Amino acid sequence: MRRPIPNDLAAFWMPFTANRQFKKTPRLLASAQDMHYYTDDGRAILDGTAGLWCVNAGHGRPKIVEAVQRQVAELDYAPAFQMSHPKAFEFASRLVQISPEGLDHVFFTNSGSESVETALKIALAYQRVKGQGSRTRLIGRERGYHGVNFGGISVGGIVSNRKMFGTLLSGVDHIRHTHDPARNAFTKGEPEHGVELAEDLERVITLHDASTIAAVIVEPVAGSTGVLIPPKGYLKRLREICDKHGILLIFDEVITGFGRLGTPFAADYFGVIPDIMITAKGVTNGVVPMGAVFVKSEIYEAFMTGPEHLIEFFHGYTYSAHPLACAAGIGTLDTYADEGLLTRGAELAPYWEQALHSLKGTKHVIDVRNIGLVGAIELESIAGEPTKRAFSVFLECFERGVLIRTTGDIIALSPPLIVSKEQIDQIVGTIGDVLKAAA
User: pTM higher than 0.95 for the full model?
Assistant: yes
Q: What is the pLDDT of residue 8?
A: 84
Cβ-Cβ contacts under 8 Å for 171 (sequence gap 6 or more): 136, 137, 138, 212
Q: Please report which confidence band the pLDDT of residue 436 belongs to, taking 50, 70 and 90 as the band edges.
A: very high
Cβ-Cβ contacts under 8 Å for 404 (sequence gap 6 or more): 48, 49, 393, 394, 397, 398, 411, 412, 413, 427, 431
Work out the number of other CB atoms within 10 angstroms of the CB of residue 153. 25
Averaged over 2-31, what is the pLDDT?
Answer: 88
d(CA 195, CA 233): 6
Q: Which of 345, 247, 249 is nearest to 294 (CA)?
A: 249
Tell me: pLDDT of 233 over 80. yes
Q: What CATH code is assigned to 19-60+340-437?
A: 3.90.1150.10
The upper half-sphere exposure of residue 377, i.e. CA atoms within 13 Å in the direction of its Cβ, equals: 31
Q: What is the pLDDT of residue 2?
A: 62
Q: How far is CA 245 from the centre of its chain?
A: 28
* Residue 44 β-bridge partners: 38
Query: What average pLDDT is seen over the chain?
Result: 97
Q: Please report which confidence band the pLDDT of residue 4 belongs to, taking 50, 70 and 90 as the band edges.
A: low
CA angle 200, 295, 293 (to 5 degrees): 90
Boundaries of every domain in the chain:
19-60+340-437, 64-339
Q: Please report which confidence band the pLDDT of residue 439 belongs to, taking 50, 70 and 90 as the band edges.
A: confident
Averaged over 82-97, what is the pLDDT?
Answer: 98
Tell me: pLDDT of 61 over 80. yes
Q: Is 76 within 8 Å of 268 (Cβ atoms)?
A: no
User: What does each C-alpha distance from 35 to 85, 416, 418 come to in angstroms?
Assistant: 33, 7, 7
CATH architecture group of domain 64-339:
3-Layer(aba) Sandwich (3.40)
Q: What is the pLDDT of residue 438?
A: 85
Q: What is the pLDDT of residue 6?
A: 64
Averaged over 162-174, what is the pLDDT?
Answer: 96
d(CA 268, CA 270): 6
Tell me: pLDDT of 236 over 90. yes
Q: What is the pLDDT of residue 1?
A: 54
Q: Please report which confidence band the pLDDT of residue 378 belongs to, taking 50, 70 and 90 as the band edges.
A: very high
d(CA 152, CA 129): 23
Percent of the chain with pLDDT over 90: 98
Q: What is the pLDDT of residue 5?
A: 64
Among positive and negative, which fits the CA dihedral 374, 283, 276, 144?
Answer: positive
Task: Please provide residue 437's backbone torsions phi and psi, each rounded to the nearest 5 degrees.
Answer: -95, -5
Angle between helices 388-399 and 421-437 (to 10 degrees): 130
Percent of the chain with pLDDT over 70: 98
